[in-house]
Amino acid sequence: MSMLGKVEELVPLVHPRSRLRRGLVLLQDCVAGRLPEVVNQVSTLPPGETIRVSLEGDALYLLIQCYKPKRREQGRFEAHARHTDLQFLWSGCECIEVCDLRTLQSAAGYDSKGNVYFPMGDTVHQRFLLKAGDVAVLTPPDAHAACLKPDGDGEGLVRKIVVKVLDAQLTDGAAETPALAAGMKSAAPPPVSVSVSAPLRSSPGAAR
């Protein structure tokens, strides 16, 4: 089930030990400046580039993006078999169109990376308008077309952090990570080590 709001509004709504909570707390850490490497990347990334920041391999990672939103006819739906997207707008404005994956008529199946893609079609579905500071939580059943230009909006750049969380509905039995504990207890965490890949030069919003 998709959600839209401010990070601080959504954190109390999810289980304190859920993987989704961990992803939201990571965004809190970014906003609070506790992950300076990520803040620097999202603030300075050249337009048209995407950088992957690995935290726990494919189980938890970030995509940092900078791009100009595109017209609806240039977009496409995508969905992920096991990953939930937390799409956070650092700056700019865009629309994300969302619909239930089960309502789309397509014979396409998931690819080897667990992603599936669909054409937009003529039917306009639920649309989220995201401005700076907003996050859209998109679960596996939520087919979504991101990076769309709002109606009547200009050509401004969007800077975005996408947190990719594997099996976000599950809870972790292990002890809290430093970042999670910091987000829940407002304590200053130790520095977080991140591994930043080379820029990925492909369409913004595409799954990795």
pLDDT one-digit tens code per residue, 116-170: 998 888 988 999 999 999 999 999 999 999 999 998 666 689 999 999 999 999 9
Residue 95 has pLDDT above 90, yes or no: yes
Q: What's the one-letter identity of residue 48?
A: G
Residue 176 has pLDDT above 50, yes or no: no
Alpha carbon distance 91, 171 (integer Å) = 31
- pLDDT bin (cut points 50, 70, 90) of residue 107 is low
What mean pLDDT is predicted for residues 45-63? Answer: 96
Residue reference for tokens 């950088």: 51
Residue reference for tokens 């993006």: 65
CATH number (domain holding residue 94):
2.60.120.370
**Of 10-14, 55-59, 108-112, minimum mean pLDDT range:** 108-112
100 within some domain: yes
The pLDDT of residue 198: 45
Alpha carbon distance 137, 85 (integer Å) = 6
Domain count, the chain: 1
Closest CA to 83 of 137, 136, 27, 140: 140
- pLDDT bin (cut points 50, 70, 90) of residue 87 is very high
Higher pLDDT, 116 or 198: 116
- pLDDT bin (cut points 50, 70, 90) of residue 1 is confident
Buried b (16+ CB within 10 A) or exposed e, 180-190: bebbeeeeebe
Residue 186 has pLDDT above 70, yes or no: no
143 within some domain: yes
Is residue 143 within 8 A of residue 117, CB to CB? The reply is no
Q: Is 183 helix (H, G, I), strand (E, B) or coil?
A: helix
Tokens of 208: 């990795």
204 within some domain: no
Residue reference for tokens 């937009």: 120
The pLDDT of residue 180: 36
Domain region containing 111: 3-196
Q: Which residues pair with 85 in a beta bridge?
A: 138, 164
202 within some domain: no
Higher pLDDT, 173 or 118: 118
Q: If you average pLDDT over every residue of the chain, what do you get?
A: 85
Alpha carbon distance 27, 11 (integer Å) = 10
Residue 38 has pLDDT above 90, yes or no: yes
206 within some domain: no
Residue 13 has pLDDT above 70, yes or no: yes
Residue 175 has pLDDT above 60, yes or no: no
Alpha carbon distance 43, 150 (integer Å) = 22
Closest CA to 72 of 95, 101, 104: 95
172 within some domain: yes
Residue 208 has pLDDT above 70, yes or no: no
207 within some domain: no
Alpha carbon distance 160, 190 (integer Å) = 24
208 within some domain: no
